[in-house]
Structure 1
Amino acid sequence: MRRMARWALSGALLTAAVAGPLSTPAHSAPASLYAPSALVFTTGHGETAMTATPERAVTLNCAYTTSGTHPDPRQACAELDRVNGDLGRLATLRGNEAGRPCTKEYRPVVVTIQGAWRGTRVNYEHTFANSCIKETQGAAAFAF
């Protein structure tokens, strides 16, 4: 009888040792070694994102490979890397290097960027005086 009790106890301990870790919730490993960089860009006419009429939205993923619905995801990710994620610098990144003249018409265009950049949550909004200024002074990331 003692022998049977010892086998039963050994079996119970072995079962607990093997199945115990399997019954606890496993922590999911990250899908990649790179911090997430997935952004949603929107644009619309209006002075703020709250009052703007949305016109277009694109996605941009700058993790290990670039992807998304942005027309030029490689260039957009390169510009974000160039400013080291400082989204405020994107609005004046080019500074009208093409020398294209713009009218002084005030028809505001607001651009928003929301998502995560290198693992940090971002929520950015910038208003340009008109579309021409957005295209000539703003980064190519805003050209969508």
Structure 2
Amino acid sequence: MRNTARWATTLALTATAVCGPLTGAALADPAPVAGSLYAPSALVLTVGHGDSAATSTPLRAVTLSCAPTASGTHPAPVQACAELRGVGGDVTALTARDDVLCTKQYDPVVVTVDGVWQGKRVSYEQTFANSCVKNSYLSSVFTF
């Protein structure tokens, strides 16, 4: 009986010592810092050759974070974020530029966007006839 009580006490103390700090940290809410509250805007953009993302292998993928500041592995994050802010994060609202002429060669390029824009889930896939058409429609957003 004494050994059972000793084992129960040892087990309870060990569990409290190991798990106690973990549960306190998990339940505590981080204190908000003034001026640091913002809706997240972080995206992963991919480009690949093919008719759809399901059948093509991405050739390149970059990250783009637009809040609180423009950053990521995208080569022009400031310009890309500005364009996305201009259309409220709606990638389908980006329009073709007038100053680009493209051939009618069919060499399909598929682009995808997955992530969060101002706290809302974003998922986009579009297939373009060729790279020139892709670059004309999306200017700096998919130029990577």
Shorter-chain TM-score: what band? 0.7 to 0.9
Mind listing any 5+ residue stretches in structure 1 that lack a counterpart? Answer: 1-21
TM-score of the pair, normalised by structure 2: 0.76
Q: Which residue of 2 aligns with 1:15?
A: none
Instruction: Map residues 121-136 of structure 1 onto 2, 5 A cutoff.
Output: 121-136=121-136
Any idea what the Cα deviations from partners look like across 1:17-56, whole Å, max 9, x if unmatched?
Answer: xxxxx95821235673111100000000011100112100
Answer whether contact 2:97 2:139 (CA < 8 A) is retained. no
Deviation at 1:123, TM superposition (A): 0.8
Residue type of the partner of 1:84? G
Please say which structure displays the higher CA radius of gyration: 1
- Does 2:47 align with 1:43? yes
Name the count of aligned residue pairs.
119
2:97 counterpart letter in structure 1: N
RMSD value, Cα: 1.9
CA contact (8 A) 2:40 2:68 kept: no
CA displacement, residues 93-117 of structure 1 (integer Å, 9 cap, x when unaligned): 2x2322x321111111001000100
Q: C-alpha separation between the residues in 1 aligned to 2:98 and 2:58?
A: 28
The 5 Å alignment of 1:55-134 reads: 55-90=59-94, 93=95, 95-98=96-99, 100-134=100-134
Q: Which amino acid aligns with 1:140?
A: S
Structure 1 residue ranges (4+ consecutive) displaced by more than 3 angstroms after TM superposition: 28-32
Change (3 A) 1:124 1:27: same
Task: Tell me how far apart the structure 2 counterparts of residues 140 and 111 of structure 1 sit (CA, whole Å).
Answer: 13
Match of 1:18 in 2: none
Deviation at 1:122, TM superposition (A): 0.7
